Structure 1
């Protein structure tokens, strides 16, 4: 299970935002800078994702309590 909250699996749509730090350009810098850039970009994407449901008057919510190992396994991601 990728979430600690069972109702997530019953949702019609689940959007998971992930980042590949190795795919970022070399000039981004340290791992910490890459994580910061990835988090900022994910936040911008999430804000845009919220705009459509809001405009259509349908519910949406952010789920922060995720099982990282479960997500990696479900999405077949490596540990990096």
Structure 2
């Protein structure tokens, strides 16, 4: 897959995350609620690449027009590995 800097989309998402969690943030001190809110804010933000629709809107549109189910939903939680 290569280094993150080789993929603009990954770097763009990293930049969005840095607006909520600056570089060096200790995620051990971040609550799941805080992470969920940041993800929601990012996913509902209008994006120029989507003609100013959000990622969430685009996902809903494609799922509804392609007769498919999203892979993840709000009920999915990943537990930390000890």
Query: Structure with the greater relative contact order (CA < 8 A, sep ≥ 6): 1 or 2?
Result: 1
TM-score by length of 2: 0.32
Q: TM-score, normalised by structure 1?
A: 0.32
